[in-house]
Structure formats: C-alpha cells, structure tokens
Chains A and B, each alone.
Chain A
Amino acid sequence: MTAYLITGARIVGGDQADLLIDNGEIVAIGSGLDAPADAQTIDAHGLVALPGLVDLHTHLREPGREDAETVFTGTRAAAKGGFTAVFAMANTDPVADTAGVVEQVWRLGRDAGYADVYPIGAVTVGRKGTQLAELGAMADSAARVRVFSDDGDCVWDAALMRRALEYVKAFNGVIAQHAQEPRLTQGAQMNEGALSGVLGLTGWPSVAEEAIIARDILLNAHVGSKLHVCHLSTKGSVEIVRAAKRRGLEVTAEVTPHHLLLTEELAASYNPVYKVNPPLRTKEDVEAVREGLADGTIDIVATDHAPHPVEDKDCEWSAAAFGMTGLETALSVVQQAMIDTKLLTWADVADRMSYRPAAIGQAAEHGRPLEAGAPANVVLYDPRVERTVVPDESVSLSRNTPFDGMTLPGKVVATFLRGTPTVLDGELTR
C-alpha cells in the first residue's frame, strides 16, 4: 500500500499540520513527520482536512432502478463528495426487507470499494406499513443492519411504530422515521402556504411532518428506544425536537443540504427538479433548520441523495418523481449555508457530517477524529474556490441536481477510504 504524506492541511479547519497515512491508518499528525521513502506527498496547504463524511440517508437505487443509480455509481458520487460511508435506503425493488437483499447491497458496496455501504432495512414488509419485516434477521446478517426505515413512506400506524421502536431494542437498532402523515398529504406536490394556493399545486402542510415527529418522540419516550427523524424540514419540527431534547427525551434528527439552502419559491418555475419530499419550505423554515443544526437540535446533515432518470423529471410537475441528488454538492452547500454564515465551524461540520452520523448508524470504522491510530478516512477540501454546478459533470447516473447553474463554494480535492485514495486532485482515482 502506498503511504501518503499530506502536508500543511488545516486539521478540521484548525491549525496546519502534516498527516501521515500508511497501511490504512493515520500513522501520525504533526510536523516534520518521518515518512517512508516511497511515500507520496500531497501538498494540502490551504485545504481543510476532515474525517471522511458519513451519509445516513442515501438512495443507491440498486436493486431495481439501476437506470437511476447503482451501488457502484452512487458510491463513486459519494467519494467525489467526500463521503467514506453511506447508508443505503431500503426503498429498492425488491425492498430491502430481508437479510438476502441487505446482504446483496452490502456486498455490492464492498466490491465497488468507493465508500462503505451500510444497508438500511425496511421497518415493514414491502414498506407497506402493515407488518414488521424480519428486523432481527437483517441485524444478524453479514450487513449487520442497525438502522431501519420505511423512508419514502411513513410508518404512520402508531401501534406498529411503537412495536418497531420496542423490537429493535434487542439489538440496539434505531428507527429512522420519514415523518409524513399520509392523510394530510394526499396528492401533495409542494409546501402548503400562500404560494401553493397561487400555483394550484396541492399543499404538503408542515403539520403533517410535525404531528408525526411529536407523536414518535412521545412513543419513543414511552418505550425507551432509539428514534431518528429523517429530513426534518420545518420550523415547527425544529421547535418540537428542541423542546424534546430540553426535556431529556431521546431523539436524533437530520436535515438535508437542500433544505438548508433552497426555498419553495423555486416551485413557481414548475420545473420538477425542485420537486422533493418533504418539499422545499419557506425562508423562515430554512432559517430555523440552520439554527437547529447550529445549536445541536438537529444532529446531522444527511443528503437524501435521490437520483432519478431524466424521463422522471423531464415532465409535468405532478407526474414527476420526488427527489434530488446531493452527494457531490453536500459539503459545498453546507459551507455556503453554515460556514460562510458563521453558524458552524469546520469542527462542527466534522461533528454533523461525520462523527454523529457514524454514531447514530453505529459505523465504528467511521466518524473517528483525525488522530494517530484511527482508520485513514480523510477528506481534503478546498473552501477557497468556487464552482458552477453542471449536472453533466456529475458521476452519478442521474442529473437531477437542484443546484444546476448555481455557483457554490468549495471543492473536494481528495478522499481517502482506509488509506486508499478514492479521489485525488478532485477526480476519482479510477
């Protein structure tokens, strides 16, 4: 294995230091390091070194929709975005609701070698919300599933949700809820508010998210398990989670990059690239989720990378699929929304995008501070540059980025997965 000497990087945005990587580990951090003669030197002056990013919410689409994304292409996009681990959502076809499917996804990830893939298991059979899937079998499988979610659909039946939360206590699992009251969101197309009324698009009211989050927090308090809230998007949701944490209730929550930056006004274009679930909300909501992420109410950023083939977005709004890609732009969006606004430091970003998502997902290899002896999962990021997002430059199979044409700050220069570079000089290594 090639050894790498990274020189002059700002470690987690702090002081400059050199970083020696060998044998898959960080060997040393400091200055004047004693590098092996054949070590490759990377000049990282001006770059920020972060622990490899961990995405708790990725749609890799395989098996079933290999026209949108595969484990191979999705993890390449992850590496390009600085991620070394991704949690693959269960809404594949067939649904990841058995040990067989989760093991397949896990093996595809291992074979691809761009990022570690942690499959998420479905909570209910076929994600239909009526019968618990064999959660234990998935937990005991080679994929060692710990996160379970019906994402795309809400586990709306309160009794079933209670049982799911209780059941996963046996193997320290966590239920990641897609909070969406289904009756309040029938046919919903965009955030419900003044704009939806004008555009004639059926509204997706904030309360449909908030009601489920409040219910689930109380259910979880009752049974004492682990609840994670997926893609929280409203001011009210932030307030509910904040109040719960203040009372000492157990809950973790994520926000997507797009909900940190974009607002519902984009729907006025009727361009379905802006159609996503939960929908883009108001400016007030964006400010609230930023504050929530800053003060720790929201634990992590997760991309909800949701690739779709061109034909599923090149159509009228109501016929289009929900979702946006996000792996390759996540860090830049977080820089713009949180760093450049001084709401977070780079150390905070390491926490929100690496340590904590790894901890919630129980990915022991990942989310470790940059220190000697840790697995060499490292990102080098240049926050000083700007780039204009061009969908065709994406290494994802899909092109549905809402940041098309936007100028975003920063660029991932290198990503190391256990000491092996997956990205160097801003390009995939293979």
Chain B
Amino acid sequence: MKHLLSAADLSRDEAQLILDTAEEMRSLADRPIKKLPALRGRTVVNLFFEDSTRTRISFEAAAKRLSADVINFSAKGSSLSKGESLKDTALTLQAMGADGVVCRHGSSGAPHLLAKSGWMTGSVVNAGDGTHEHPTQALLDAFTMRRHLGSLEGRRITIVGDVLHSRVARSNVLLLSTLGAEVTVVAPPTLVPVDMSRWPCATSYDFDAVLPKSDAVMMLRVQRERMNDAFFPSAREYTRRYGLDKNRMAQLPDEAIVLHPGPMNRGMEISAEVADSTRSVIVEQVTNGVAIRMAVLYLLLSGSNETEEQTA
C-alpha cells in the first residue's frame, strides 16, 4: 500500500490488517508514554483545503503519537485561500520533503490527482474528497462495529441519510461489503444516486422496514439547506420519515448499535435521546479514529518507499 485514496483500494486482507493494527495501537494508548517511535524522522503534512477540525486533529494526534513531524497546512490564512493551485501546493510539499500527505479537499478526486500526477512522491491519504470518499472514516466505523459485533461477515448494516452527497456512505458501502457485511442504504429517492448498480449494497426508501433487520445503523449528517434544492420538502418531514428517534430505536434488535460520523444535527437525523443512549457508540468512534489513523499512517509510512514486498 502506497496510498489510501478509496476504500475500494483495500482487499479484505489489507482491510483486516489495518483493523488488527489499529487494535494494537488502541491498546498502546493506555500506556504512560503514548508516543511510539515508528515514524521518527518522517514528515506528515495535513493538507486541508476544507475546514474540518475534528478530522485534522484526529490525524494530527495519530501522527504525533507515532513520533512523526506534523505540519498543518490549512486553507484559511494560507496561500491556499489566495488561489494557489493544487499543483503548486504539491510541488511545495515535495520540496519540503513530505513523506505523507493527508488531504482533505472539496473536489472529488483531488487526493487521487495528488497521488497520480507525479507532482510529489509521498504517500497520500484521502481525508475526505468532495462527495467521493472518506476511507479512514469507514475504517474507524468498521473498527467500532467489529469491537461490538465481532466479525462483520453476514452482519446487516444500514446506512441512512444523504447518500448522494456523502463520502462517508461511499467508503462505508465499499469497505463493509469487502469485509463481508450486507449493507443497505436508506434515503429518500432524491438523495441516492440515480443509478446504484455499481454499489455493492441494497437500497431502500423505507427506514421502518429495514430497522428490525439491522445489526448496526449509521446515521449520516443531512444538511438542512438541501431542502432549498428540493431534495426534500422540509426538515420536519425528513425527520419524520428518516430520522432516528426513540421509537424507531426500539424497533432495532437488542444488540444493535447506532453510529454517526459527526458532526450531528440533533433533532434532524438523530434525536438527542438516541445520540446519548447506551446503544450509541458515537463518542467511541472518535476515540477509535485516532487508532485507525495511527494504523493507516504506520502501514503507509513506516517502511521504505523503495523496497518492494519481499517474497520470503
């Protein structure tokens, strides 16, 4: 693995390796000295063209715990906000000797371009690109589910909300199906792509029908502004049909858990009671995010870039 651009890049074995490595990383977090020497002397650049404090902090903590040098390069107040091109930024990072670039960008495919353009030689981790993918989010979601549900083979996972615009949904559908789960996306028809034939999942418009058959439910953030583009009539109607409240939660099987990638719109896609309930693993997702990102950075950056996999 040189880059992590899409959850589709991961084979089942690679995904399991990341999850297993994250498990070790997580247990190491309880030690008095949290720093590990694995990435000593390596430089990780957090290249954030979009504001996302949570994701940036999570990657920053992960890189620092692995002893990497971390440079934060955010759009606000930097040359990025003054129209510097992605190419010039990449050339700058190359000149600075960035071993790894964690890239968040509003344009789908921007991390892909960074990785494949030849502008820079470092590894690229997609930290969310446009409406495309957010693979480390999917990994931390899978990690969280695995801790609660065991193997995801045959597990029924339901992803609910603005699938059309969600990079979290795309990455999760791909990764969870790679891990053997049966994924169903639930949304109003206006908020799923018009042709889902290339998605390894089922699609439903009826949340209540899917609920009792779900081992985990992942609620996606829905922006109220979508209603201005007629994706749904009103926030109230959205909540009534696709929001997860206490009554709906009661329809879930006993062991089922509730996830949300954050930040939540309490009262919109998820009620406060559900978010704060014992089924909710939302806070744990944040903790697991650091372990997953440690695992990803470790597996991408700890080795030599030149050496190919040994055959031994």
| Contact flag (A, B; Cβ within 8 A) | yes
Q: Is B236 in contact with chain A by the CB < 8 A criterion?
A: no
Residues of A contacting B164 with CB < 8 Å?
A: 197
Main secondary structure of the interface of B (DSSP, over half): loop
| Contact partner, B108, options A192, A271, A317, Cβ 8 Å | A317
User: Nearest CB to that of A197 among chain B residues?
Assistant: B193
Pair A196/B193 contact, Cβ less than 8 Å = yes
| Contact partner, B109, options A202, A311, A316, Cβ 8 Å | A316
Query: B5-34 vs A: 1/0 string, CB under 8 Å?
Result: 000000000000000000000000000000
User: Nearest CB to that of A200 among chain B residues?
Assistant: B132
Number of A-B contacts (CB under 8 A): 79
Asked if A194 meets B198 with Cβ closer than 8 Å, knowing A200-B132, A314-B87, the reply is: yes
Sample (15) of A-B pairs whose CB atoms are under 8 Å apart: A189-B108, A193-B195, A197-B193, A197-B194, A198-B193, A198-B198, A201-B131, A270-B112, A270-B113, A270-B116, A315-B85, A316-B109, A317-B113, A318-B106, A318-B108
| Contact partner, A198, options B85, B117, B194, B199, Cβ 8 Å | B199
How many B residues are at the interface, by size bracket? Answer: 20 to 34
User: Nearest CB to that of B114 among chain A residues?
Assistant: A316
User: Nearest CB to that of B117 among chain A residues?
Assistant: A314
**Chain B contacts to A: CB under 8 angstroms:** 85-87, 105-110, 112-113, 116-117, 129-133, 164, 167, 170, 193-199
Residues of B contacting A319 with CB < 8 Å?
A: 86, 107
How many A residues are at the interface, by size bracket? Answer: 20 to 34
Pair B199/A317 contact, Cβ less than 8 Å = no
Residues of B contacting A199 with CB < 8 Å?
A: 108-109, 132
- In the assembly, what is the distance between CA of A399 and CA of B221, in Å? 42
Asked if A194 meets B196 with Cβ closer than 8 Å, knowing A270-B109, A270-B112, the reply is: yes
Residues of A contacting B195 with CB < 8 Å?
A: 192-194, 197
Residues of B contacting A202 with CB < 8 Å?
A: 131
Other 5 A-B pairs with CB < 8 A, given A199-B108, A202-B131: A198-B193, A199-B109, A199-B132, A270-B108, A316-B109
Residues of B contacting A200 with CB < 8 Å?
A: 108-109, 129-133, 167, 170
| Contact partner, A197, options B109, B110, B196, Cβ 8 Å | B196
- In the assembly, what is the distance between CA of A269 and CA of B116, in Å? 9
User: Nearest CB to that of A203 among chain B residues?
Assistant: B194
Pair B170/A198 contact, Cβ less than 8 Å = yes
Asked if A318 meets B130 with Cβ closer than 8 Å, knowing A199-B108, A201-B108, the reply is: yes
User: Nearest CB to that of B105 among chain A residues?
Assistant: A316
- In the assembly, what is the distance between CA of A202 and CA of B105, in Å? 15
User: Nearest CB to that of B198 among chain A residues?
Assistant: A194
Q: Is A195 in contact with chain B by the CB < 8 A criterion?
A: yes
- In the assembly, what is the distance between CA of A203 and CA of B110, in Å? 17
Residues of B contacting A269 with CB < 8 Å?
A: 112, 116
Residues of A contacting B108 with CB < 8 Å?
A: 189, 199-201, 270, 317-318
Pair B107/A314 contact, Cβ less than 8 Å = no
Asked if A201 meets B109 with Cβ closer than 8 Å, knowing A314-B85, A315-B85, A318-B130, the reply is: yes
Q: Is A205 in contact with chain B by the CB < 8 A criterion?
A: yes
Query: A164-202 vs B: 1/0 string, CB under 8 Å?
Result: 000000000000000000000000010011111111111
Residues of B contacting A197 with CB < 8 Å?
A: 164, 193-196, 198-199
Of residues A192, A199, A201, which shows the largest number of chain B Cβ atoms within 10 Å of its Cβ? A199
Query: A305-329 vs B: 1/0 string, CB under 8 Å?
Result: 0000001001111110000000000
